[in-house]
Amino acid sequence: MTTALRGHVERGDLPGLVALVARGDAVHVAALGTQGLTTSSPPMRRDTLFRVASMAKPLTAVATLLLVEEGKLALDGSVDRWLPELADRRVLRRPDSPLEDTVPAKRAITVRDLLTLRWGLGAVMAPPGTYPIQEAIREARVSAGFQAITDPPDEYMRRMGTLPLIHQPGERWMYHTGYEVLGVLVARASGMRFDDFLRERLFVPLAMKDTAFSVPVEKRGRLSTAYARDPGTGRLEAWDEPSNSFWSRPPAFPSGGGQGGLVSTADDFLAFGRMLLSAGRHGDTRLLSPASIEAMMTDQIPSEQKDASPFYPGFWDATGWGFGGAVTTRPDGISPTAGRYGWGGGYGTTFFIDPRQDLTALLLTQRRVQGPEEGALALEFSKDAYRALEG
């Protein structure tokens, strides 16, 4: 596995990476290449900091379930009390309808709707300009993307509340946006900023000492450079550098979905993965009940909704969606059994656990996902992680 990954670095596909595979107490870590492409870039280290983007979604799901278990939120209860901007929704008659052609929502949005990305809004899987709602989402500044959300949470929700839903609550899966809303929900229901809640209730108990929404000066030497491929030349160009990084200051919007989002390390995510594999326990501390962990890693999407919920080709063939991440529903050419749970991030990061194999695996890179090449690297790594078990 390490040899294959080293080939990508030596060919210049990316400046460096950190890969980790753990089973039980055995942990293998490969830190390859450098943190950037310049001659002064330091070597990649086991504790290098990476922007994890949508890998934040499982963390946000755990934060939400903590409040469910405390009784501050109800899984199948309305979110109207905490998110009045989403009360009394109107729903487009059809996805291609004019914004004024709406019907009343049949019911209120629930916590489960947000966790399962079935609350009615999200990324529209069609070319830009196909439907009027796409331009409205862009103008409201609530589009999914790499750029961090710059509005504070209350303004973000005000803008979100100006939009009609595309689908009735609970009827279709639409990627991403529900987790940005969940971050606001957790903050309001807990009475804490979302970043403070994550730190106090999740990161400190799990000793995830490097996971945060910004990087202090004393840690900035460990922050890798993020790259994007120039579509014309194919060359990697620096997109966010440690010296003037967006992550050098706390964000206006602590993102639950990962847009802007968290930085983390291999060992921090290993601690999180082991907590999931231990059914919610970390050492002598229980964070979540086994029932909540089981729900996270159980497919929540009925087959008829998968058929009507486009994502990328083949996504639903052997995959479902739990809380915060994807769940394999049958052997899929990567793992030999169902039940693998995890998610990736827009900078090429990948994280998954397999309860049947007692396996945690993650690949951390910093090259923006712009096409199938980046997805191919994550797929190759995931297959090699299972082959390593056989060896």
Same domain, 308 and 343: yes
Mean pLDDT of 54-74: 98
pLDDT at 391: 63
pLDDT at 145: 85
The domain boundary, picked from 192, 222, 255, lies at 192
pLDDT at 266: 98
Same domain, 284 and 379: yes
Same domain, 225 and 348: yes
Same domain, 294 and 366: yes
Mean pLDDT of 91-113: 97
289-333 pLDDT, tens digit each: 999 999 999 999 999 999 999 998 899 999 999 999 999 999 999
Same domain, 146 and 209: no
Residue 57 pLDDT exceeds 70: yes
Residue 371 pLDDT exceeds 90: no
CB 128 within 8 A of CB 226: no
Mean pLDDT of 159-186: 98
pLDDT band of 375, cuts 50, 70, 90:
confident
Same domain, 259 and 274: yes
Mean pLDDT of 192-206: 98
The domain boundary, picked from 192, 225, 240, lies at 192
Same domain, 188 and 205: no
Mean pLDDT of 88-107: 97
- pTM exceeds 0.75: yes
CATH code, domain with 201: 3.40.710.10
- Give the residue numbers spanning the domain of 40: 2-55+195-390
Same domain, 366 and 226: yes
pLDDT at 183: 98
pLDDT at 374: 72
pLDDT at 370: 83
Same domain, 285 and 345: yes
Q: Over the chain, what is the mean pLDDT?
A: 96
Same domain, 114 and 235: no
Same domain, 29 and 135: no
List Cβ neighbours of 191 (8 Å cut-off, separation of 6 or more). Answer: none
Mean pLDDT of 194-211: 98
Considering its fold, how many domains does the chain have in total?
2
235-283 pLDDT, tens digit each: 999 999 999 999 999 999 999 999 989 999 999 999 999 999 999 999 9
Same domain, 337 and 309: yes
The domain boundary, picked from 192, 221, 247, lies at 192
pLDDT at 199: 98
pLDDT band of 390, cuts 50, 70, 90:
confident
Residue 380 pLDDT exceeds 90: yes
